[in-house]
Amino acid sequence: MVSKVKEKTWFSKHPVLGTIAIIFGVLLIIGGLSNLFNSDNSNTETNNNYQPTSIQNVENTQAKCTPNWNCGSWSECSKSGTQTRICTDSNSCGTSSGKPKTSQSCTYEYGLGDKVVVDDLAYTIHSKTEDNQIGEYNEYIGFMGEEADGVFYIFDITIENVGKESETFWGSNVKIYDSQGRTFDHDTTAEIYLDDSFQYDQLQPGLPKRGKMVFDVPKGLSGKLEISSTDLFSDKKEYVSWE
């Protein structure tokens, strides 16, 4: 009886090469799985970083757009001491970059006839007149009065104590403030010759007093009345224009 010899496989004939082939195959499988995983991560990151074209276009437009601001005139000064204006971007960039200021502080000016309250005293400037001299002629003595070095500005004023205690009005808190930044005190000597001047009057609460204040100023002076608080600890000031 003849026995058959079992044929050897390729791996049994070449054990070293077979081992190398198996290791190489395993490495190929591992490499393929790694590439697949990295590809999925790359797609995920791409999706996360994706922005719609419309958003990208808007961002690009804003980056390239340069605002062109056009501002209107300032509003009149309010009693709170502020004025405003409107500024628009003709290029409609949608940004406030470089936008000029639209609000600023200012000095509010009252006019003749307005009631101006400064702490506990209220002032109403009714009118302003001018004269070269204040006084009267006496047939024996001649002129009795005061002549202006420049011209007398005479203001007809009502002052009311709106506080709760009496106050003495000295007049030094009312000055003329001209367009050159100069100040002028009232002329107490000229006021002596007026029948209705404020000569250190005692002002009682709720009892208005009407009188005149005189200022000797250069001819043609332009400016406004500056009214300060009579309280030493207050820096409040208001302005009245006579023009």
**pLDDT (tens digit per residue) in 145-199:** 899 999 999 999 999 999 999 988 888 899 999 999 999 999 999 998 988 887 6
Closest by CA to 38, choosing from 30, 26, 49, is 30
**pLDDT (tens digit per residue) in 76-123:** 898 888 999 999 999 999 898 889 999 999 888 899 999 999 999 999
pTM over 0.95, yes/no: no
> Residues 114, 124: contact at Cβ < 8 Å?
yes
Q: What is the mean pLDDT of the chain?
A: 83
In CATH terms, 109-241 corresponds, of 2.60.40.10, 2.60.40.1240, 3.30.530.20, 2.60.120.680, to: 2.60.40.1240
Phi, psi for residue 171 in degrees, rounded to 5: 90, -15
**pLDDT (tens digit per residue) in 12-70:** 666 666 677 677 666 777 766 666 555 555 555 555 555 555 555 555 555 689 999 99
Question: Domain extents for the chain?
Answer: 10-45, 66-105, 109-241
